[in-house]
Structures are given as C-alpha cells and as structure tokens.
Amino acid sequence: MPSKKVVKDDKSKPKFKFIDLFAGIGGFHLAMESVGGECVFASEIDKFARQTYQTNFERKSPELFSSGMFNEDINKIAPKDIPDFDCLCAGFPCQPFSYAGQKKGFEDKTRGTLFFNIKEILKEKKPRMFFLENVKGLVSHKGGETVATILDILENELGYHVFSTVLSSLDFGLPQKRERWYCVGFRKDVNFEFPKPLNKKAVLRDIVDIDNNDPTLKLTQFELDRIKYHFDHAKDEVRVKHDNSKYKPNTKKGKYGIYSFQKADGSLRFHVGDHAKTQIQEAFYSCLDTYASTIIANRTPKLWDLGRKLSVRESLRLQGFPESFKMPVSDMQAFKQLGNSVSVPVLKAIARQMLKALEGGK
C-alpha cells in the first residue's frame, strides 16, 4: 500500500515516493525531486530519451536503475508489480480515444490508449495523489468528450478529488507561450489551488547566448532573404506581400500569396492569405525582446534579429532545465526530446501547491 505518512522532520528522507510514466527526459522527475520526492519507478519507450534520463538521474538515484525499475514499455509490466508510491506522474501522449466498441463503459472508451495504463495503475495501487499533463487541445478533443471521459474515470470510477486547468509557461518565468492542460487529484478532499502567474514576463534575451555564432544554427538563405525583404518594405506596407511566383498556381501559397507582418511585441509572422484576411500561419520568428513560439518535436524556435534558431542549451533553458542537465544525444534527438518535454518551473509550482494542500487537508 502507499506510504501512510509524509515525512517532514528528517530532511535525509523523502517526503513522498512517486512514479514517472511516459517519463521523457525527466521533467517530472526534476520537479517532484525538488519538493522532496523520491522516484521509485519510471517508464519511457524511446531509447534515446531513456539515455538522456539515465545520464542525468543514475548518479543520484542508482537504485532506480539497478533494481530494474526503469521500464522500457509500460504495457509489459503488471500494475501490481510496480513498487508502492504516493504520487503518479504522467505527461501521457494524447492518443485518440476509441469509441468503436458497442459498450459504453469507461473501460471500453479508454482501452487501447495510454491513459488506460494510468487508470489501471491508479485502480491497483490507489496512491494518495496523481499529477497529469497533456496538450491544451485535449480539452477540445472530440468536442470535449475525451477530457470528460478522463475526468469521469478519475472522479467517479476511481474516487479522486480532481482539479484541472490550462496554464502557460509564459506565466512562470519561461519566455515561451506553451499552454498545457494540467490535472491533479487526491484521495482525500483538500484545499488545492493551482499556482498564480508570476508578475514578471521573461523574454528570450534572458536565456540566449548573444555571441553564439554556431553555423549549424543559422537560418537558411531563403529565410534570411525574406526577412530582409520584409524590413526593406515594411515602411511602405503594413502587411508586406512577398513574391509568390515560385509556388505552383494551384497551391494555397501560389493562389493567395505570402504576407509578412510584425506584431507589436516584435515577433515576425509569415502567413498564407490575401491582404485583408489571414488564412494560415506559415512561419513565426521571435526576437530577443519577446517570447518564443511553443517548442515542439519538429520545430525549434527561431529569432529573426539573430538570424538563427535556438541552440540545444538555450532550448533547455526555454523548458526550465538546469544548466547542469546533460544531453548525451545528437542535436536532432535533443531538439525532439525537448519539444516533447514539459516545462519544469510550471511543474515545480504545481507540485508545491500539491504538497501544501496534502499537508494542510481540509
């Protein structure tokens, strides 16, 4: 059974134990460890992400790896074989939920998805709390049916007191507008409140190495040329029209053209569309004095004023990872891992509120 008491007096002992599902490179691990947690089980299917995770946590938590509790596939371990723990953490992938079955029960709606693994572990182990993260789009997926199913399971079938919201990393000291759905739950009724946004907004200048001239980070000549074209013509046109003759006439770019527009915050946007109506955002370039677009697996933020994309180290800072964090993989894998990762300061702020609520009760 989960441990029954939060240890407060002996700082050498963990306050609670947690498991790290769909662990990626360890954002949850860093956050929960920062508030006194000990990781007793972790699971990550991507071999390169596992390499990064182990490189950064093996020295401090050797027993996690020596005991075989660093799992490669959550589907290959029975929930009963996972060590007892107090908190389940999971930034689970948002796979489409299957409604193909004839039955209307919770199990039928979630079977075949990775949330099903979370449900079964919570059902078997009954930890005191859980902490989930997902994309903002989960809230509107299938017209809200998906998130309603998840909350129904957590509250009505599993009996947790559940709190959920969407928060932006931009409000927690990171120069990135990364909006994510966060959900926490407790087995007892508690006074929980999500953390309030910080007063100060960060900008990319806070994390960027201005003198980094790594040629591999440089924007393509095509991008540099059209950025220059924008500023050469911006005085005459609010929304600058670019040459679309290189695009096939039957494509959206060929039919509607490419337009660029600089927002008040300094960011530069390229759109497919006519002069009056924007249709599709084609590119987003930040600058030093504003925030970055959301870093995702196949897109690294770019700065028009530096003429380059962010480096791996700068991308680590963009997600709130410490300077000591190591990336023992190729840059391609590193950018992918960071795009799939979580924003550590947001998780830390929520984790502090979770412990506060748990210790205070209601």
Q: Which residues participate in catalysis according to the annotation?
A: 94
Alpha helical stretches, state H, 138-240 = 145-152, 221-233
What is the rounded distance in angstroms from the CA atom of residue 169 to the CA atom of residue 179?
6
Strand-pair partners of 240: 260
Task: Identify the DSSP state of 73.
Answer: -
Strand-pair partners of 16: 37
Contact 20, 40 (CB under 8 A): no
What 3-state DSSP class applies to 87? strand
What 3-state DSSP class applies to 84? coil
Residues 6+ away with beta carbon under 8 Å from 148? none
What is the rounded distance in angstroms from the CA atom of residue 103 to the CA atom of residue 236?
62
What is the rounded distance in angstroms from the CA atom of residue 76 to the CA atom of residue 11?
35
What 3-state DSSP class applies to 85? coil
How many degrees, rounded to 5, is the angle at CA 329 between CA 305 and CA 22? 100
Query: How much of the chain is in helix, strand and coil states, percent to nearest 5?
Result: 35, 20, 45
Query: What one-letter code names the amino acid at 297?
Result: A
- Would you call 113 exposed, middle or buried from its count of C-beta atoms within 10 A (0-12, 13-18, 19+)? buried
Residues 6+ away with beta carbon under 8 Å from 224? 307
